[in-house]
A and B are shown apart, each in its own frame.
Chain A
């Protein structure tokens, strides 16, 4: 096992003070332990090895004749350091004076003014005057580095932070320093816009005002604003954020470092999609369908309509929850459905049976996010981290770059991590089950040629992957996309893989799921928002009159059928729009049209809500909410209200409680924390948890004593056999993915709009040639009488015989196609 480094403690002297510090820590960090600050510009531990570019951290070390950079000098036992001597002071003042030679000193118009390290350090360590009277260097300013970032080259002090981020953290290799000496400037190589999923981080990294956020530009100054810590709910990464608030508006999102969650980075969706909180499209008052159109009505009327419709549909009502729902909302809605309305039909958008999720949610198999960085081998299975859980992508890159983690990819679609992987293996879309069978055979040392071919993979590669997993070291972390559990024998395959690699109970190894149900997918399951499962994954008692139905008959798929056939009459959508998700579109479109009542909590009029909802309650954004979420690794995190309620929105928990009361059920919840308390009492493995314990950093329930209350999953039921690879017969196999930008909040945010994708069909050049298609051509992709329009995108690494379409794009989504085999024709 590759142990995480446990540094030795040493003692050194700094400014006459004996300080204890971990050996080989950089002097700048070690000095902090003795409450001594050494000024820095370029040093940032998150960026990896120090470069010593800015020379601000010069210190005097006894025994070394010249001044040394504190950021790149590791501290040693018995070292004697001076940071206040005359020599050091002269050097610091000289560096500040030097940096300010070309700095325009336009602090009053600069967005960084007031929170600028250059201001602070000039004030603290500068000489206070300059001898430089010559004219300053000038650049054209401000320029757009990208539609999201403005660059002011005059202010740049050439600390290299942004370039290092682009080269070594995000590894998009776009930013470079051009020219030499005083004429150096940061740019992309051929001056194209710096557009990348993580580009916004350089704004926060910049120690001067050279890189500023365009959406935040001139909106507020540091003394006008307040910071409010919360958690981003746009994807399962659940990054910790600080929301910058002015006049009850969120103006900016900053990272709130948490080594176990986000490592201090944010993706651009998390950083800029806050704009969707304050756009005009947002629903801020209750709507009721009246004469075929949604009209704004007072709360009382909306509640009355919804409550009477629910009461009418008692026993014939179903509920769907989306990933942005908190645990409390899901828990209360499940109670309303089960206790108040006598319906067991509740599900998420995951499309995966909860019994399967239960098998893999065992605490002994659970890996943490940070394990990805310290493991021996990481296997990414059926997921594209940058789209599904962006921050994990950076974590994997960090592990590969700094700790030489051996990365293996087994996906159907080419991944952006391919270049970092020791082994990138492809199988056919939908063949995860067959692939896992082949891998198990290979791990057992048997011949896997035929089973691998059945999965559309190459036998030799499967053998190499088995070899890598077996001999690469014992700490293996498997990151898998939960959606693949819907494939036949995938759970069995994963469990077998875990037992063959002895992952159970091993610290630093295990499995991490990318929830299929969205940001809080795991929380919804644990709060009991799952067919056949109560809070804490406890199977529902058999007393219910619907219990003769199996979980599959209660789930989302059966829900659509029930609504279409009239067996169900009402559906409750909690932050969920089945037409925007991966569920079969035609089926749900028909189901919603047939439903007599569709009650939705929504922030935007997405297609399903706009066309079918009868009552719409305005949903709160994550900046207004209180509640808890569960990270895919089991960390409970707290949402805290940062701004007041927008428009007439009301908290979801209060609306659900009000509806329950009108349906004759008192949920006993008067405040948000009361809902949390009920939840913690209902889930055995959250026992005795309090909101205070969760606090600002969250707590993993697997690490608490109460984790023993996790119900052991029943023996795995025989799964359906893996789907046979359909014979192509000239058609192409369809795989789907959901890009990070294919989201409603991206579409409505003015700054991010330009990134919202249009449908594109990714295909191999060989297939395109065979079909006579060229890159950029508009085509119709069709399967069984359904078709979507898309633009051809040729990707060399796409395996021949497969095409990939995007989800989450409304009528042109991949889920609009009914069938696994598609034909592509010129439109």
Chain B
């Protein structure tokens, strides 16, 4: 049995059929408006960045991979292994094991130093709390964001890796850029 619509069916009211000029505008008008934007951009040249040959510059306060710092004058590590960064870390990705400086093995400026300093970057959420917690500005968030690797264990960064200068510098965005 065929379905019969009930009284609820409302008839669609259509617009009056367009004339010739109206029809033309409806066919090409909006398209031309879009093309105007397109052609206007041609003179600007391409903006595609050829990653990885070319890198996106980051803002100065970009929170990338962490860096540990040394004092420039003495070469001693700024980190004293206080473990406050580990306490502040919401992802629980920092592990610090401290040890005591001895006169013949002075590593940091304080009484203690970090014998083990590891950040598990596969866990890190890059919140920057460690940087905020650090009483000696020993750890800061760097600009490196190329962190992919082939195994999870390689993503545990040791103290030596964090202290070393990054192999390639990430370009910084210039003012007004």
Interface assignment of A78: CB less than 8 Å from any CB of chain B: no
* B80: A residues at CB distance < 8 A: 108-109
Q: What is the minimal beta-carbon distance from B93 to any residue of chain A, in angstroms?
A: 14
* B83: A residues at CB distance < 8 A: 221, 223-224
Interface assignment of A402: CB less than 8 Å from any CB of chain B: no
Interface assignment of B87: CB less than 8 Å from any CB of chain A: yes
Q: A218 and B86: CB pair below 8 A?
A: no
* A217: B residues at CB distance < 8 A: 100
Residue of B86, B99, B100, B110 near A108 (CB, 8 A) is B110
Residue of A108, A142, A218, A219 near B84 (CB, 8 A) is A108
Q: A223 and B98: CB pair below 8 A?
A: no
Number of A interface residues at 8 Å Cβ cutoff, please give it: 14
Cα(A220)–Cα(B95), bound, Å = 11
Cα(A142)–Cα(B97), bound, Å = 20
Interface assignment of A113: CB less than 8 Å from any CB of chain B: yes
Cα(A221)–Cα(B84), bound, Å = 9
Q: B87 and A114: CB pair below 8 A?
A: yes
Instruction: List the A residue with the shortest CB-CB distance to B80.
Output: A109
Q: A218 and B98: CB pair below 8 A?
A: yes
Cα(A345)–Cα(B86), bound, Å = 56
Interface residues of B in 108-141 (CB under 8 A from A): 110-112, 135-136
Q: A218 and B110: CB pair below 8 A?
A: no
Q: What is the minimal beta-carbon distance from A522 to any residue of chain B, in angstroms?
A: 41
Interface residues of A in 109-132 (CB under 8 A from B): 109, 113-114
Q: What is the minimal beta-carbon distance from A108 to any residue of chain B, in angstroms?
A: 4
Interface assignment of B64: CB less than 8 Å from any CB of chain A: no
Instruction: List the A residue with the shortest CB-CB distance to B87.
Output: A223
Q: B98 and A219: CB pair below 8 A?
A: yes
Interface assignment of B155: CB less than 8 Å from any CB of chain A: no
* A218: B residues at CB distance < 8 A: 81, 98-100, 111-112
Interface assignment of A106: CB less than 8 Å from any CB of chain B: yes
Interface assignment of B82: CB less than 8 Å from any CB of chain A: yes
* A220: B residues at CB distance < 8 A: 97
Residue of A109, A114, A219 near B111 (CB, 8 A) is A109
Cα(A217)–Cα(B84), bound, Å = 16
Q: B87 and A108: CB pair below 8 A?
A: no
Max chain A Cβ within 10 angstroms of own Cβ: one of B82, B86, B96, B110: B82
Q: B111 and A142: CB pair below 8 A?
A: yes
Cα(A109)–Cα(B96), bound, Å = 13
Instruction: List the A residue with the shortest CB-CB distance to B113.
Output: A218
Cα(A308)–Cα(B171), bound, Å = 73
Residue interface mask B70-88, A partner, CB < 8 A = 1: 0000000000111110110
Q: B87 and A106: CB pair below 8 A?
A: no
Q: What is the minimal beta-carbon distance from B156 to any residue of chain A, in angstroms?
A: 15
Instruction: List the B residue with the shortest CB-CB distance to A222.
Output: B87
* B136: A residues at CB distance < 8 A: 108
Cα(A224)–Cα(B82), bound, Å = 11
Q: Given A108-B82, A108-B135, A109-B80, are A221 and B87 also a contact pair (CB < 8 Å)?
A: yes
* A106: B residues at CB distance < 8 A: 110-111
* A109: B residues at CB distance < 8 A: 80, 82, 110-112
Residue of A107, A113, A223 near B86 (CB, 8 A) is A223
Residue interface mask A82-117, B partner, CB < 8 A = 1: 000000000000000000000000111100011000
Interface residues of A in 213-269 (CB under 8 A from B): 217-221, 223-224
Max chain B Cβ within 10 angstroms of own Cβ: one of A109, A114, A220, A224: A109
Q: What is the minimal beta-carbon distance from A304 to any residue of chain B, in angstroms?
A: 38
Q: Given A108-B110, A108-B136, are A224 and B100 also a contact pair (CB < 8 Å)?
A: no
* B96: A residues at CB distance < 8 A: 221, 224
Q: A221 and B100: CB pair below 8 A?
A: no
Interface residues of A in 559-618 (CB under 8 A from B): none
* A142: B residues at CB distance < 8 A: 111
Cα(A220)–Cα(B96), bound, Å = 8
Q: What is the minimal beta-carbon distance from B115 to any residue of chain A, in angstroms?
A: 9
Q: What is the minimal beta-carbon distance from B48 to any residue of chain A, in angstroms?
A: 47
Cα(A113)–Cα(B98), bound, Å = 14
Instruction: List the B residue with the shortest CB-CB distance to A114.
Output: B87
Instruction: List the B residue with the shortest CB-CB distance to A152.
Output: B111
Q: What is the minimal beta-carbon distance from A142 to any residue of chain B, in angstroms?
A: 7
* B99: A residues at CB distance < 8 A: 218
Cα(A221)–Cα(B87), bound, Å = 9
* B82: A residues at CB distance < 8 A: 107-109, 113, 221
Instruction: List the A residue with the shortest CB-CB distance to B111.
Output: A109
Cα(A436)–Cα(B80), bound, Å = 63
Cα(A108)–Cα(B136), bound, Å = 9
Cα(A113)–Cα(B84), bound, Å = 10
* Chain B contacts to A: CB under 8 angstroms: 80-84, 86-87, 96-100, 110-112, 135-136
* Known A114-B87, A221-B96; further 20 A-B contacts with Cβ < 8 A: A106-B110, A106-B111, A108-B80, A108-B82, A108-B84, A108-B110, A108-B135, A109-B110, A109-B111, A217-B100, A218-B81, A218-B98, A218-B111, A219-B98, A221-B82, A221-B87, A223-B83, A223-B87, A224-B83, A224-B96
Q: Ordered nearest first, which 4 A-B pairs have the shortest CB separation? A: A108-B82, A218-B98, A109-B110, A221-B83
**18 interchain pairs, CB-CB under 8 A:** A106-B110, A107-B135, A108-B82, A108-B135, A108-B136, A109-B80, A109-B82, A109-B112, A113-B82, A218-B98, A218-B99, A218-B100, A218-B112, A219-B98, A221-B86, A221-B96, A221-B98, A223-B87
